[in-house]
Amino acid sequence: MYNGVTVTQFIIEEQRRLPGATGDFTSLLNDIVTACKVISNGVNKGALIGVLGTAESENVQGETQKKMDIIANDVVIKSNEWAGHLAAMASEEEDDIYPIPARYPKGKYLLLFDPLDGSSNIDVNISVGTIFSILRCPDGVTEPTKEDFLQPGTEQVCAGYALYGPSTLLVLTTGNGVNGFTLDRDIGEFILTNPNMTVPADTREFAINTSNQRFWEEPVQRYVDECLAGKEGARGEEFNMRWVASMVAEVHRILTRGGIFMYPKDTKDPSKAGKLRLMYEANPMSMIVEQAGGASSTGRERIMEMKPNDIHQRVPVILGSKNEVERVVSYHKD
């Protein structure tokens, strides 16, 4: 019999360290964990249950939705709307915020999520994931609006993601380090397998979409050129390049062995400040990476200190091993 620490036990033990904790937050996390298990099952079965392919619709960002985008979005909402822990939700797949229906009690937290990050990969059986961020609803607010969600990343109570790959993994931070859990399908529980995850300060591995190279700003071009030059270049080191096109997979690799991930500002579409969404992609991943000892920046400022202006706001993202991120930031300053 395997007697590992389950994610529920881990969360409850964390709760006991906080004077005055009511258990609401613990129950909210358990509801999110349940949603991740359901999504994992759908992703795992794929074509067997007819959930692959496009849904012939677009989300608010004008991106083609996959069937599992819509399914995963519904799963997260249905798992969390009824329990009385949330005041409202915001999703990549929803134009506006999702208020808790009047028939359910309301709680003191706000949930933001990307239900299926990297979903363009699902039809070719490459890892995808769910990203989430939890904020406190402002005091005295019973009917939250968009503006109540627009809090900087430093205000996050919790950030996490589920990675649906060869194993289903759950990675969490509540501001006290980063811990990883693996889903044991035999017992239906996430078991603590990666305690106190850390990002090495140095790396020789970078991830960027080089098809956009002609649109990059000079600081990013300079950094990548140095990496590609290898031992003969200014860095005097050989670098490896990776690109999965799934932020969850990219960040998990960095948490596991170090690296730097970049989706920088470019000139491909001048109307967009960046590719990734601040509130439910960049902020939660930045919190996780920073809590693991890494760094996260737009190249010009710390991501988690940005004042959001919209729940679907896009930003440049440069995150990962601290020394490499700081190098790219210094090139922007130059």
Q: Do 181 and 38 lie in a common domain?
A: yes
Q: Do 23 and 164 lie in a common domain?
A: yes
Q: Do 105 and 250 lie in a common domain?
A: no
Kindly report the CATH number assigned to the domain that includes residue 215.
3.40.190.80
Q: Is residue 125 part of a domain?
A: yes
Range of the structural domain that residue 223 is part of? 205-333
Distance of CA 36 to the CA centre of its chain: 13
Residue 184 corresponds to which tokens in the numbers above? 């044991």
| Residue-level pLDDT at 51 | 87
Separation CA 173–CA 197 (nearest Å): 10
Residue 65 corresponds to which tokens in the numbers above? 């939705």
CB-based contacts of 66, cutoff 8 Å, min separation 6: 52, 53, 54, 55, 116, 119, 120, 122, 123
Q: Do 288 and 163 lie in a common domain?
A: no
Q: Do 190 and 262 lie in a common domain?
A: no
Do 325 and 318 form a contact (C-beta atoms < 8 A)? yes
pLDDT in tens, 37-60: 999 999 999 999 998 888 777 676
CB-based contacts of 228, cutoff 8 Å, min separation 6: 239, 241
Q: Do 11 and 98 lie in a common domain?
A: yes
| Residue stretches of the chain with pLDDT short of 70 | 1-3, 58, 60-62
Separation CA 249–CA 318 (nearest Å): 15
| Residue-level pLDDT at 158 | 96
- Scored b (16 or more CB within 10 A) or e, 236-259 reads eeebeeeebebbbbbbbbbbeebb
Which has the closest alpha carbon to 263: 212, 199, 300, 321? 212
* Binding positions for substrate: 117-120, 209, 275
Which has the closest alpha carbon to 25: 79, 73, 83, 75? 83
* Binding positions for Mg(2+): 92, 114, 116-117, 281
218-223-224 Cα angle (round to 5): 100
Q: Do 19 and 139 lie in a common domain?
A: yes
* Binding positions: 92, 114, 116-120, 209, 275, 281
Rg (CA), the chain: 19
- The beta strand positions in the chain, using DSSP E, are 54-58, 64-66, 86-91, 98-99, 109-117, 128-136, 158-164, 168-173, 179-184, 189-194, 205-207, 240-242, 260-263, 276-277, 295-297, 314-315, 317-320
| Residue-level pLDDT at 185 | 93
pLDDT in tens, 286-327: 999 999 999 999 999 999 999 999 999 999 999 999 999 999
- The beta strand positions in 185-290, using DSSP E, are 189-194, 205-207, 240-242, 260-263, 276-277
Q: Do 16 and 43 lie in a common domain?
A: yes
| Residue-level pLDDT at 163 | 98
Compute the Cα dihedral for 194, 31, 247, 74 and give only its sign: positive
Using DSSP's 3-state secondary structure scheme, residue 254 falls into helix
CB-based contacts of 283, cutoff 8 Å, min separation 6: 133, 152, 153, 156, 159, 303, 304
Q: Do 17 and 150 lie in a common domain?
A: yes
Q: Do 16 and 149 lie in a common domain?
A: yes
Do 150 and 311 form a contact (C-beta atoms < 8 A)? yes
Question: Residue ranges of the alpha helices (H) in 46-113?
Answer: 67-80
Separation CA 86–CA 142 (nearest Å): 10
- The last residue of one of the domains, among 172, 194, 216, is 194
Do 130 and 246 form a contact (C-beta atoms < 8 A)? no
| Residue-level pLDDT at 196 | 97
Q: Is residue 72 part of a domain?
A: yes
Using DSSP, how many helices (H) and how many strands (E) does the chain show? 8, 17
Q: Is 12 exposed, middle or buried (0-12, 13-18, 19+ CB in 10 A)?
A: middle
Separation CA 129–CA 247 (nearest Å): 8
